[in-house]
Amino acid sequence: MIDDDVLSTHLQELRRGTVVLASLLLLRRPGYGYALLEELARTGLAVDANTLYPLLRRLEKQGLLTSEWSTDEPRPRKFYRTSVDGAALAETLRREWADLSTAFATLEDGS
């Protein structure tokens, strides 16, 4: 039997970094934090708010997201959107993911 902590650590390590790619892809259409959280969960990439919100601020600081306050709604909300650099990074990460998938497919064959 695999220890539960061991299992969850290995799963977390595999998932880490995928939230960045997913957020950059989803925020090609402007969205605010809570809506993104729900979209991620719906896509099977559930993430904690305490992980996502600081990540969004970090991506903005890195110039990968831009932000804008919307006052159209009853409560002002900060909308994030993927920047040109962010879209370029998403493309790089997507290619890296595809390369890793190819590598795994080779290993699966037992070669």
Residues 6+ apart with CB under 8 A from 39: 26, 31
Site for a copy of itself (CB under 8 A): how many residues? 44
Site for a copy of itself in 48-87 (CB under 8 A): 62-64, 85
How many other C-beta atoms can be found within 10 angstroms of the C-beta atom of residue 47? 17
Residue whose entry in the numeric block shows the structure tokens 């040109």: 84
By CB under 8 A, tell whether 41 contacts a copy of itself: no
CB 77 within 8 A of CB 32: yes
Site for a copy of itself in 2-21 (CB under 8 A): 2-3, 6-7, 10-18, 20-21
Of 65, 67, 68, the residue nearest 88 (C-alpha): 65
Residues that bind a copy of itself (CB under 8 A): 1-3, 6-7, 10-18, 20-22, 25-26, 28, 43-45, 62-64, 85, 88-89, 92-94, 96-97, 99-104, 106-108, 110
